[in-house]
Structure 1
Amino acid sequence: MTGIDPLRKLFRQISKQLTKSEVSDLKECITADQISASTLESLDKASAIFIELQNKGLIKHGDLQLLKDLLSEIQRHPLVETVERFERERKTERHQFGGTSRKRRNDDDDDSDDDRCRSTPNKKLHRFYETLLPVWAQKVKDENP
């Protein structure tokens, strides 16, 4: 089961903190090259605007500058700080997990060792070595008494 995209959670968090007036101001900051006037008119929530910008590739993981710029334009600097904190947390998470975003494991997870391998090829390799190493070790032991 996959969870909700953290970026979408951020969009909703920001959207909940904006008034209708601020959403209108936000719409005024968006150019026609970013979102067409007819599409923009139909979007009534900030999160919908952000999702549309994400769908167009203008806001994405690793590049939230447009989001920060829009929030600055409507004078919502605490929300810019929220976005920056989100970026720092995601960067730290990617660093901790080897450059990709992965779910953190709890120490009390009772998965088998095989499930701790990060990908299917690693699981297969792990199983291969689990099987091969004892056989190889026994063969070396038998050949060198």
Structure 2
Amino acid sequence: MTNSIYPCLWFDGQAQAAAQFYCSIFKNSKITTDNSVAVSFELNGQKFMGLNGGPEFKFNEAVSFVIDCETQQEIDYYWEQLISDGGKEGRCGWLKDKFGVSWQVIPTILAKLLSNPDRAQGVVQAYMKMNKFDIHALENA
């Protein structure tokens, strides 16, 4: 079988604007099809669909997209881009972009730090105080 599985995001008439916004942030991204009802796009090779479904449904934190970041520079970049123009910071690496879509901007080193039983509690205490993750502060917790 060659079935694809990919998310469809329900927007209230903003699917094209959202696709353009996301494609401007992520490298190797493009809009593949576009019409008045839906837009298909790829972010770093991952396929998405945006649907202009109307005002009936809203995004919430039950679904979020995770961005693994190797460096603080990557964290800073994605964080600033995604909260620009009306996005909102959350706690512990979470944010909502201007369309209400939830994202987690996470340092890849976090899993390693949490797997060390001697450091895990300090790391958790440190990141519970953070909005955007600070790799240096986590490594020194």
> What TM-score does the superposition give when structure 1 sets the normalisation length?
0.28
Task: Mark the structure with the bigger radius of gyration.
Answer: 1
Give 1 or 2: higher helix fraction.
1
Give 1 or 2: higher strand fraction.
2
